[in-house]
Amino acid sequence: MREDATPFLRQAAGCGLLLLGVSGLLLPFIPSIPLLLAGAALLGPTHPLVRPWHARVVAWAPRAYMRARSFTNSTSASKKS
């Protein structure tokens, strides 16, 4: 019983967080970005709404990490000079 309910609860919580995040775009007192990210993380790459974004983030993240790392390395090297 518990194993059967887990995917449903994850999807329900993920959709709820996404709805709160979208409402946070309109209402200034609700933090939208953290709620959108948490909802997308809960839904994961198996949900049809999140799958295209997940593929983009997976492709983008290593490149962004390397760019940030090279930027911090270049700024720390210029401070030492």
For residue 53, the model assigns a pLDDT of 79
For residue 77, the model assigns a pLDDT of 53
The total of structural domains in the chain comes to 1
Range of the domain at 69: 2-80
Cα torsion angle, 36, 44, 59, 74, sign: positive
Measured between alpha carbons, how far is 32 from 27 in angstroms, rounded to an integer? Answer: 9
Contact 36, 21 (CB under 8 A): yes
Name which of 22, 38, 39 is nearest 30 in CA terms: 22
For residue 60, the model assigns a pLDDT of 77
Q: Provide the residue-wise pLDDT of the chain in tens; the chain has 81 residues.
A: 466 767 888 888 888 998 999 999 899 888 888 888 888 888 877 788 778 877 787 787 777 767 777 766 665 555 555
